Amino acid sequence: MQISSRFTIALHIFTCVETFKDDCKVTSDFLASSINTNPVIIRKILSQLKNAGLITVARGTGGITPTRPISEITFYDVYQAIEPVENGDLFHFHEAPNPECPVGRNIHSLLDDKLKAIQDAMEAEMKKYTVADLDTGLKEILEKEA
């Protein structure tokens, strides 16, 4: 299991939007330069964030705005927008364990509750962090660098 880089790119996008909102229009080209990736990838992620109701995007002249205060946008919100899980389950179970095998017959009862607990713990941890935490952390780093 691995969460794709789209999740961290989305967090990078929010951090850039907050950092540069007063200095310039934050466009997909601008973000692609900061992230060092193709603007097409940025536009796809922006579309996912917009469809999830986390941002608005001004076409043409550019400009991205969070739809609510960044202190209210959690890592979990971003994760849900970028990495939607099939049927709400993080772990995809193999399709047809052999019912004639004692392991195959019982693997679901052995794993289901444990995998659900792992997913719940990860999601609970993601809900503790917000985009505002990134903004605060960046400001602290930049102060130390000055």
* Domains recognised in the chain with CATH numbers: 5-134 (1.10.10.10)
Taking the C-alpha atoms of residue 62 and residue 26, their distance in angstroms, rounded to an integer, is: 6
Q: What is the pLDDT of residues 78-122, one digit of tens each?
A: 999 998 777 778 887 888 899 999 999 999 999 999 999 999 999
- In degrees rounded to 5, what are phi and psi of residue 74? -90, 165
The answer to whether the CB of 89 falls within 8 A of the CB of 119 is yes
Residues in Cβ contact with 54 at an 8 Å cutoff, skipping those fewer than 6 apart: 66, 67, 68, 73, 77, 78, 81
Interval 14-55: pLDDT, tens: 999 999 998 988 989 999 999 999 999 999 999 999 999 999
pLDDT at residue 61, as a whole number? 67
pLDDT band at 62 (very low <50, low <70, confident <90, very high): low
